[in-house]
Amino acid sequence: MPINFIVNDPLTVDSVPMRNQEPSANRKTGQAGFTFVEASPAALFDPGTEDFVFWQSREAALTAIQTWEILNGPLKKWGPQTANPDKLDLLPDADDDLNAYYDRQSLSFFHHTIGAETFFSGASTDVVAHESGHAFLDTLRPELFGTNITEHGAFHEAFGDCTALLTALFDQGTRQALLTVSSDLGSPNFVESLSEQLSSAVKKAAGPNHPAAEPRHALNKFKFQLPTTLPRSGPPATLTSEIHSFGRVFLGCFYDMIRNIFQNSSTLDEAALYSAAQTAGKLLISGAQQAAISPRFFQSVGRAIVIADQTAGGTNHQAISDAFSAHGILLGTMSALMPKASLAGPAPRFPGKAKMLSLDSATLKDIRRRIEAPAGSKFSFQELTLGDQEVVEATHHREVRLDQDSKELKGVVAYAPEPVLVGGVLKSAAVFNMLPDPSTTEDEVHAFVDTLLSNENISFDSKRRVAKAAAITGPNKSPLKYTTHIIKLIRGKKVLTRVRYL
Ligand SMILES: [Zn+2]
């Protein structure tokens, strides 16, 4: 039996009409899949009904996976730190809220009634693909989930938005409709505009100045600024250090990359657009995979994208660097391939198995001394490839005390990654990136935490807060009650911990 499927967003059916189509097959054993809630058999359900939202969110999530697999090959498992790497729960309507989230256990969507209309976040393919994007990135770089550095979180949000953009562009009917309204992708359109209906509902419920009261736009002119210097919160048009807002800088770079690659095609048709989106999508994934986890992560990913392109022939170099520089991010990439200083100890070895990866104790001791890490502090290791240079990313997790950030954070600490890229020069270890600077790490963490506080993203007493928020009703009260962080007791320490990405 066919289902009704909204291809993009409930508010864009004038651009791409709702379709009658056979539902996609369930994921097979050996593929990362979903646990579904009980639902009626497939049929042509009306939008706004529970059965519709089930089949709609299911189809949108499976479509996002198809997009991902075209770019990155078979998705066999969810992230290594998920509750069940074989299956995520897909919850089409978990609660009353105007939101959606990924929390390493589920993709969760919500409903909220305003006047006579009930809004379902799971009815938008944009929203479902965004949350799926968080889950995809979590398979590549699980260490990005919980870091307390603004650009890491903002990249997670941007990656969700890029996934929504790619999921739209991988649909032929969408590309055809898009090119009739914006032949060069350079004018505002229904594809670059994300989550139209959910943001319209937020506007109705919380007013036009709520940060989420407008769709996020991939076609934008936001320029990079140090997030430590930005306002902590603000209306949709303002660039702030809140991660959804700040992520728009990277989203803009990515969309412009697609536009520039498309502009260089010999034919400016739907097939060329598909090819440009695939090229950009693959580069994005390489960039996300190989970028050092430094505080300047947007630039780090951009550089890794240029290096990935260079390795593949370098045909898109100008398209990429123009896209990033239009948003204030300069990519001087060749220097990334040069050693910066030698370190104690021998050149690192690459055993082929991530678990075996390590560095000589003399090298670690030398790194600790240089970055002022406490004696004996632990590192995590990951192998990265810069062009044809293999390096070990040795990440120190710096503990930052939050006593001064707010009275509720007395005695709480947060951890932030400090990466050191170690490669070999002849037989010696050498460092290939700028060494992390402890005061930069501290400043970044305090700005990040200050932003969480300003946006009420930390639950200090989750049960009470949720109950209180749920009790708030009325047209001007925000129904957005899910926070992203909690204080968790880990080995006797109170640690600021991310529990979900919205
Ligand atoms: Zn998100």
CA of 245 to the centre of ligand 1 (A): 11
Q: What is the pLDDT of residue 73?
A: 98
Contact 75, 68 (CB under 8 A): yes
As a whole number, mean pLDDT of residues 120-137 equals 98
CA of 362 to the centre of ligand 1 (A): 41
CA of 102 to the centre of ligand 1 (A): 8
User: Would you state the structure tokens that stand for residue 387, as one six-digit string?
Assistant: 């062009």
The mean-pLDDT minimum among 5-19, 67-81, 406-420, 468-482 falls in 468-482
Tell me the pairing of strands 412-425 and 493-498.
parallel
CA of 33 to the centre of ligand 1 (A): 20
As a whole number, mean pLDDT of residues 425-439 equals 96
CA of 77 to the centre of ligand 1 (A): 20
CA of 381 to the centre of ligand 1 (A): 27
By C-alpha distance, which of 42, 5, 39, 37 is closest to 21?
5
What DSSP element (H or E) covers 63?
helix 50-72
Could you read off the pLDDT of 174-185 as tens digits, one per residue? Answer: 999 999 999 999
CA of 150 to the centre of ligand 1 (A): 14
Confidence check: pLDDT of 374 > 90: yes
Share of the chain above pLDDT 70, in %: 96
Rounded CA separation 229/494 (Å): 28
Q: What is the pLDDT of residue 464?
A: 53
DSSP code for 407: G
Beta strands in 402-484 (DSSP E): 412-425, 428-431, 458-459
CA of 19 to the centre of ligand 1 (A): 26
**Separation in Å, CA 103 to CA 79, 215, 216, 223, 502:** 11, 23, 22, 30, 8
CA of 231 to the centre of ligand 1 (A): 20
CA of 466 to the centre of ligand 1 (A): 20
Could you read off the pLDDT of 283-310 as tens digits, one per residue? Answer: 999 999 999 999 999 999 999 999 999 9
CA of 399 to the centre of ligand 1 (A): 26
pTM of the complete model: 0.96
Q: What is the pLDDT of residue 383?
A: 94
The DSSP annotation for 28-53 comes to PTTS-EEEEPP-PPS--PPTTSHHHH
CA of 49 to the centre of ligand 1 (A): 25
CA of 61 to the centre of ligand 1 (A): 15
CA of 99 to the centre of ligand 1 (A): 10
Q: What is the pLDDT of residue 415?
A: 97
The more confident residue out of 462 and 389 is 389
CA of 244 to the centre of ligand 1 (A): 7
CA of 382 to the centre of ligand 1 (A): 25
Q: What is the pLDDT of residue 356?
A: 87
C-alpha gyration radius of the chain: 23
Q: What is the pLDDT of residue 354?
A: 75
For residue 380, list its beta bridge partners: 395
CA of 489 to the centre of ligand 1 (A): 25
User: Would you state the structure tokens that stand for residue 200, as one six-digit string?
Assistant: 């319209």
As a whole number, mean pLDDT of residues 244-251 equals 98
CA of 129 to the centre of ligand 1 (A): 10
CA of 426 to the centre of ligand 1 (A): 44
As a whole number, mean pLDDT of residues 258-274 equals 97
CA of 41 to the centre of ligand 1 (A): 30
Q: What is the pLDDT of residue 462?
A: 53
As a whole number, mean pLDDT of residues 383-411 equals 95
Rounded CA separation 162/158 (Å): 6
Confidence check: pLDDT of 139 > 50: yes
CA of 160 to the centre of ligand 1 (A): 6
Confidence check: pLDDT of 475 > 50: no
CA of 100 to the centre of ligand 1 (A): 8
Confidence check: pLDDT of 474 > 80: no
Angle, CA 311 vertex, CA 276 and CA 153 arms, to 5° = 65
Could you read off the pLDDT of 438-450 as tens digits, one per residue? Answer: 999 999 999 999 9
CA of 501 to the centre of ligand 1 (A): 5
CA of 157 to the centre of ligand 1 (A): 5
